[in-house]
Structures are given as C-alpha cells and as structure tokens.
C-alpha cells in the first residue's frame, strides 16, 4: 500500500465531504450552514491543493485545476459571508447572503465531485 496515495485520496474525499456537509440544508436558512464547517472545508481544500502540486501528469493537471476552482469558490463564499456579517453591520447572516454563500459552495462541491470521479477513474485504470 502506498501511504502517499492514501493521504492524497483521504484529503480529496475529506474535502468533498466537508463541502457537502456545509452545502446540505435549506439554501437560505443560516441555521443549516455553519461557518466553522465552511472554514474546515476551505482549510482541507487548500491542503488537497498543495498535495496535487507534485503530480506532473495530465490527470494531475486536471486534479489541480478542479482543486483551484474549489478553493476559489470557497474563498469567495467566505468573503461573501464576511461581507454579509461584518461590512453590513448585521447581527447575523441574512437569508439572501446565506443563499449566495451556499451557491458558491455548491460550485466548489461540483469541482470536488469532478476531482473524486477523476481519482476513481485513475484508480480503476491502474495496473497491478
């Protein structure tokens, strides 16, 4: 068993599951979307991105691009969340801002799913 591949797969799947956990729930209900789960999704996605830098293959480039898309979407979601709570002076996040944040995390979730599909396809194509 290759420990490097285990760690790589672990972070790809963890990034997708954390993102899914944040995404699931009513689109505009702030109680269904925790800011700490968004933060965890961002951190794990950034770790997954760093792990993807070492692969010099074409599939590695696609892995990296999907990870960069997910990072961009999640960081944008965090910026919108910060704007909605800090800049507007609101005591809590509004349903409109929540919907924007969750929509951005949905884009990141799609990028994570694409990355997982590529990982599964790459694993199936491996010869023993």
Under the banding of pLDDT at 50, 70 and 90, the label for residue 92 is: confident
Residue 128 has pLDDT above 80, yes or no: no
On average, the pLDDT of the chain sits at: 91
Task: Specify the pTM.
Answer: 0.90
**Using one digit for the tens of pLDDT, what is the confidence trace for 1-12?**
789 889 989 999
Joined together, the tokens standing for residue 84 give: 């909605």
Q: What is the pLDDT of residue 76?
A: 97
Q: In this structure, are residues 48 and 15 in contact, taking their beta carbons and an 8 Å threshold?
A: yes
* DSSP summary character for residue 115: H
């Amino acid at each position: 068993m290759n420990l490097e591949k285990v760690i790589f797969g672990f972070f790809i799947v963890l990034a997708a599951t954390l993102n899914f956990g944040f995404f699931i729930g009513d689109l505009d209900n702030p109680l269904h979307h925790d800011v700490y789960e968004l933060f965890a999704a961002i951190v794990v996605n950034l770790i997954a991105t760093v792990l993807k830098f070492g692969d010099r293959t074409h599939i590695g480039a696609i892995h990296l691009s999907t990870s960069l898309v997910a990072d961009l979407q999640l960081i944008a979601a965090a910026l919108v969340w910060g704007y909605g709570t800090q800049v507007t002076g609101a005591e809590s996040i509004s349903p409109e801002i929540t919907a924007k944040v969750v929509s951005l995390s949905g884009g990141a979730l799609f990028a994570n799913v694409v990355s997982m599909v590529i990982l599964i396809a790459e694993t199936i194509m491996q010869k023993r």
